[in-house]
Amino acid sequence: MWEKSKELYEVAKNLMPGGVSSPVRAVKPYPFYTAKAKGSKIYDVDGNEYVDYCMAYGPLILGHANEEVKEKVVEQLENGWIYGTPVELEIEYAKIIRKLYPSIEMLRFTNTGSEATMAALRVARGFTGRNKILKVEGSFHGAHDAVLVKAGSGATTHGIPNSAGVPEDFVKHTLQVPFNDVETLAEIVEKNSEELAALILEPVMGNSSLILPEEDYLKEVRKITKENDVLLIFDEVITGFRLALGGAQEYYGVKPDLTTLGKIAGGGFPIGIFGGRKEIMELVAPSGPVYQAGTFSGNPVSLIAGKTTVEILMRDNPYKELEEKTRSLVESVSEKVEKECIASMFCFYFGEKPKNYADALKLDKNKFVEFYWKLLKKGVFFPPSQYETCFVSTAHSYEDIEKTAEAVNQCLREL
Beta carbons within 10 angstroms of residue 367's beta carbon: 14
Element (H, E) at 64: none
What residues pair up with 51 in beta bridges, in sequence order? Answer: 41, 380
Note the pTM of the prediction, 2 decimals.
0.95
CB atoms within 10 A of CB 71: 11
Long-range contacts at 287-290 (CB < 8 A, ≥ 24 apart): 288/126, 289/126, 290/122, 290/123, 290/126, 290/127
Number of other CB atoms surrounding residue 213 within 10 Å:
22
Distances (CA, A) of 94 to 88, 189, 234, 304: 10, 33, 18, 12
Domains, the chain, in order of start with CATH, read: 3-65+317-414 (3.90.1150.10), 67-315 (3.40.640.10)
Strand partners, 233: 200, 258
DSSP secondary structure letters along 85-113: S--HHHHHHHHHHHHH-TT-SEEEEESSH
The number of residues making up the chain comes to 415
The pLDDT value recorded for residue 158 is: 39
Strand order in the sheet with 345-349: 338-342, 345-349, 390-391
Q: Quick one: pLDDT at residue 231?
A: 98
What pLDDT was estimated at residue 117?
97
Query: How many whole angstroms separate alpha carbon 142 and alpha carbon 117?
Result: 7
Task: Write out the H or E segment, with its range, that includes residue 148.
Answer: none
Cα–Cα distance for residue pair 260/142, rounded to 1 Å:
11
DSSP SS3 for 373: helix
Q: Is the dihedral of CA 195, 198, 257, 186 positive or negative?
A: negative
Answer whether the bond into residue 286 is a cis peptide, omega within 30°.
yes
- Going by their DSSP bridges, the two strands 380-381 and 345-349 should be labelled as unpaired
5-383-275 Cα angle (round to 5): 120
10-residue block means of pLDDT along the chain (415 residues)?
Answer: 97 97 93 98 98 98 98 98 97 98 98 96 98 92 69 43 69 90 97 96 96 98 98 98 98 98 98 98 97 96 98 98 98 94 98 96 96 98 97 98 98 95
Residue 38 burial by Cβ neighbours in a 10 Å radius (0-12, 13-18, 19+): middle
Give the distance from CA 366 to its chain's centroid.
Answer: 23
Q: How far apart are CA 400 and CA 329, in angstroms?
A: 9
CB 387 within 8 A of CB 373: no
Cβ atoms of residues 379 and 410 within 8 Å = no
How confident is the model at residue 182, as a pLDDT? 97
